[in-house]
Structure 1
């Protein structure tokens, strides 16, 4: 149970609801215990009348009617309190589920980018859904049935022993065996359910990747291979689920067997005692049969609850694996930071801990507020990494980054990121309307501001061509739009934010040169006082920058203005001549 200690704080949070639920559970079970003795009394009343036929039948009728009203009344009260029991304890489990999911999601948001590179999305989704469900069962049904079991044990067994000790002893013999068998089965269930949970993570991850990459699957015609892989996963899951189902299948037969044995013993031993005159009414046998039925499910519950706890333990362990992780990127100051836009790199190096690849090596430059810097170089040269470091998605492994002459770690992380308008290389749009996707840059943006931003990003006319225009709901990852349209909507989202720093990561690669020039002209108009960094493979995108840096294998090989760089031999001049030749052709 050590893994489950982490959710006990939620029990304390809802302690009063839980306490009321426990009290109601006890009351519900106590009212249900009125049924057996009054069944006994009813049978005894009829039995006494049959023994003395001369007695008035009206008195027996009145007695039976009274007992029937008591049985119906207490049963209705028991049912009412059982309803309230579920409305309290089960509701608490839903509150715990809600809080736990929110806590997990917040931890996902806090964790650094490197965490998501090491973990599959499907697995993370399974932990916040399937695993949380298993924990909820511990926080609700397990507690509820445990209270019921304890209450019935405390009340029923002493009553049985008090009324007929010998019959009680024989009747209760099968129940411990049932509990032990269920416990043994629950251990096997724990092992097999853990395997099923792990399989569900694999299946979720595969499905999520397949749906996200469906265009690639179709383009390469690998549907049969994908189906075959899924079939193998499904067969593996079927085998694991069947193994679990086979063990679970023992529950009800064992319960029925033990109920039958206990009932048989109650009838036989009770009958013999009645014949021998040790008990004076057949009604006590009926009462005991009802007690057996009351106790059998709680005894089985001992094993079933153990199974729930073990499955919850396994699931919470999977959750705790990353809940205990400390984000690599920490906000080291709570004080607000005013960002103006000056950026300084002093001998900055970065080596990724997961691959041990050094992507930047002693990079140094200074960018004043309002200046535009262009980064150019071959794929894998470290251009995008510089943007990631400015947004502090990673911390440097060597050197130092300064923002307005202040070490980046001493700047409030949220103020830093709020001051940045970033357009990533792979433009990401959410499954929402175009309007709301742009509002991610500014939540309270008016329709006029949104239209103005899309005009600057040269996508307004495209949007007007859609049936629902700005209310058009995009598919997952913005699949409804073309690559160039996605990039321009992302640019509009950055522009509407009106940040201090713009970061464009090859965000015009899917746009034609005419549209590119229009966007760049608009960007120059709005970024006079903004610090701008543009990553591109096109000379046309970077030629007007105040500074241009050429990167190769994480090192700066050239830097200067466009005119300076085309006048010296190197990668920049070579790229310029190649693109100039292509344009002329």
Structure 2
């Protein structure tokens, strides 16, 4: 129960649901117990009345006695019916409180996990696959809900019924009650042994389900590659293998679960045998009536479902504990990207990297070594380099997806760590190397981050990104839904839409991370000319492996293996006859070809 203690705050939040649910459970069980006593009165009445009835055989009094007897039996029957209806009504109220509470807790827990995920650094998502993240927020939370809903409901019902029924049974005959309850310790030991196995197998099932979810998510995300390489059959085979593992583990758990019900029915049946045998002896001694025996049999059968539910409840609680443990593992992860002073101010855009060294915490790869850069507000700097030289790492550090291992990054002379994360990111426009678009309309993708943005601004941003002509040719124009990850657009269109999304925010610092790699030279020139106007009086960081993208820059840095090997203006670097000139001439020849 240690893992499930995390839910206590929610139980406290919805305490009135729990209190009223407990109250309604007690009342419903009271109305469930009373019919057993009415049955006892009825049977004893029948036995006693029959003797008197036959005593007055043939007399007029016998007819009157029959009328009284018939009315009494009818009255008891109607009372039993009324008790059943009242029990049903209060059971309805029990579900309307406890099950509704579980849905509220499920909603709150999912939101807590989702919000927590969003606070975690990029390194967390590099270390854990998407399928596992999704399994914990869906499958695991669903299993936890079974604990805070049905398990608590059946648990309260079991406790209440045991207290009420056993107290009634003891008050009638303590000896018979003792014999009836003898199988319970055996049942407790059996449940303990079985559930030790259940919790172990439940954890194995959840791990298997996470792997299965990851496999499916990757297969459908990369469906284009899958089809292009004709790997559908192989993918289906691998899915079958992974699915078989999940099936086998589920069957193993089911085999253990299947022990509960036969075991409980056997023990309940044994209790009924004891009631008849021991109760018969008590009748012979005159301490009990046949009505008492019937009442005891009804009590034993009343306990049958709660005792059966005990096994189910314990099983669900153990599964919930295993799931909550998995949830707690991620909730325990805390981000180290915290603001030291939560500074919120409008920035001018001056950027400085001072002796920055950066090592990726998840892989240990050294991305930057003693990197220095100073960009004045309104200046444009181009960062050039081959793949793996550390260009994108600069963008990640500037947007504070990571903190540098050594050194400091300053914005307007103030350390980046002192700014409020949300405040500083709102003043940045970022076009990532790997474009990600949402399954929304074109208009909403441009407005992402600023939902209140006027449509005129959306259209202007799209024109600057040289995408306007393409959009107006679509049947639904700006209301065109672009599909998951922008699947309905070409690579170049996706990149240009991503650029429009960044510049529409009117950011103080614009970061373009190799964002023109999927467009042709002509489109690149159009976008660059448009960006020239946009970049005026705006700090811009252009990251690229193309020399053509660096034309607009006030200064250019050439990176190689995380170190600056050359820096200067376009003309200065050409005159230096170094790496930049070699790169420039190679790309010039490629364009001519």
TM-score range, shorter chain: over 0.9
Q: Matched residues in 1 for 2:284 and 2:67: separation? A: 29
Query: How many equivalent pairs are there?
Result: 584
Contact 2:343 2:418 in 1 (8 A): no
Q: Matched residues in 2 for 1:371 and 1:110: separation? A: 32
Partner-residue secondary structure (3-state), 2:504: helix
Displacement of 1:17: 2.0
| Corresponding residue for residue 49 of structure 2 | 49
| Corresponding residue for residue 452 of structure 1 | 460
Which of these residues, 76, 84, 105, is aligned with residue 67 of structure 1?
A: 76
Using the size of structure 1 for normalisation, the TM-score is 0.97
| Corresponding residue for residue 442 of structure 2 | 434
Displacement of 1:467: 2.6
Displacement of 1:354: 2.0
What are the residue-to-residue correspondences of 1:187-336 with 2, within 5 Å? 187-280=196-289, 282-336=290-344
Which of these residues, 78, 84, 97, is aligned with residue 88 of structure 1?
A: 97
Partner-residue secondary structure (3-state), 1:347: strand
Contact 1:504 1:533 in 2 (8 A): yes
| Corresponding residue for residue 505 of structure 2 | 497
Which of these residues, 96, 99, 111, is aligned with residue 108 of structure 2?
A: 99
| Corresponding residue for residue 424 of structure 1 | 432
Partner-residue secondary structure (3-state), 1:259: helix
| Corresponding residue for residue 16 of structure 1 | 16
What stretches of structure 1 of length at least 5 have no aligned partner? none
What are the residue-to-residue correspondences of 1:533-572 with 2, within 5 Å? 533-572=541-580
Q: Matched residues in 2 for 1:334 and 1:384: separation? A: 26
Q: Matched residues in 1 for 2:294 and 2:357: separation? A: 83
| Corresponding residue for residue 132 of structure 1 | 141
Q: Matched residues in 2 for 1:58 and 1:333: separation? A: 89
2:163 is the counterpart of 1:148: no
What are the residue-to-residue correspondences of 1:462-477 with 2, within 5 Å? 462-477=470-485
Q: Matched residues in 2 for 1:168 and 1:321: separation? A: 46
Displacement of 1:97: 1.2
| Corresponding residue for residue 5 of structure 1 | 5
1:447-473 CA-partner distances (Å, limit 9, x unpaired) = 222222111111122122223222222
Q: Matched residues in 1 for 2:51 and 2:442: separation? A: 87
Partner-residue secondary structure (3-state), 1:497: coil
Runs of 4+ in 1 over 4 A off after TM superposition: none
1:259-294 CA-partner distances (Å, limit 9, x unpaired) = 2222222233333433454423x2222211110111
Q: Matched residues in 1 for 2:172 and 2:283: separation? A: 13
Contact 2:350 2:412 in 1 (8 A): yes
Q: Matched residues in 1 for 2:174 and 2:371: separation? A: 87
Contact 1:182 1:304 in 2 (8 A): no
Q: Matched residues in 1 for 2:521 and 2:480: separation? A: 27
Contact 1:549 1:559 in 2 (8 A): yes
Q: Matched residues in 2 for 1:39 and 1:522: separation? A: 90
Q: Matched residues in 1 for 2:551 and 2:274: separation? A: 95
Q: Matched residues in 1 for 2:115 and 2:309: separation? A: 35
More deviation in 67-76 or 482-491?
67-76
Q: Matched residues in 1 for 2:319 and 2:337: separation? A: 33
Q: Matched residues in 2 for 1:52 and 1:465: separation? A: 99
Partner-residue secondary structure (3-state), 1:400: strand
Q: Matched residues in 2 for 1:506 and 1:283: separation? A: 88
| Corresponding residue for residue 28 of structure 1 | 28
Displacement of 1:9: 1.0
Displacement of 1:353: 2.1
Contact 2:25 2:157 in 1 (8 A): yes
Contact 2:349 2:508 in 1 (8 A): yes
Displacement of 1:347: 1.2
Which of these residues, 501, 505, 512, is aligned with residue 520 of structure 2?
A: 512
| Corresponding residue for residue 539 of structure 2 | 531
2:420 is the counterpart of 1:404: no
Q: Matched residues in 1 for 2:294 and 2:440: separation? A: 64
1:396-450 CA-partner distances (Å, limit 9, x unpaired) = 1111111001011111211110111101001100112222111104211222222
Displacement of 1:225: 2.4
Q: Matched residues in 1 for 2:69 and 2:478: separation? A: 80
Contact 1:441 1:494 in 2 (8 A): no
Displacement of 1:233: 0.7
| Corresponding residue for residue 88 of structure 2 | 79
Partner-residue secondary structure (3-state), 1:575: helix
Which of these residues, 519, 523, 529, is aligned with residue 521 of structure 1?
A: 529
| Corresponding residue for residue 59 of structure 2 | none
More deviation in 485-494 or 329-338?
329-338
1:331-383 CA-partner distances (Å, limit 9, x unpaired) = 22234122110001111110112222111011111111111111111100011
1:83-107 CA-partner distances (Å, limit 9, x unpaired) = 1111111111111111111111111
Q: Matched residues in 2 for 1:317 and 1:139: separation? A: 15
Contact 1:441 1:496 in 2 (8 A): no
Which of these residues, 336, 339, 350, is aligned with residue 342 of structure 1?
A: 350
Partner-residue secondary structure (3-state), 1:34: helix
More deviation in 251-260 or 372-381?
251-260
2:187 is the counterpart of 1:178: yes
Contact 2:264 2:307 in 1 (8 A): no
Contact 1:339 1:500 in 2 (8 A): yes
Partner-residue secondary structure (3-state), 2:48: helix
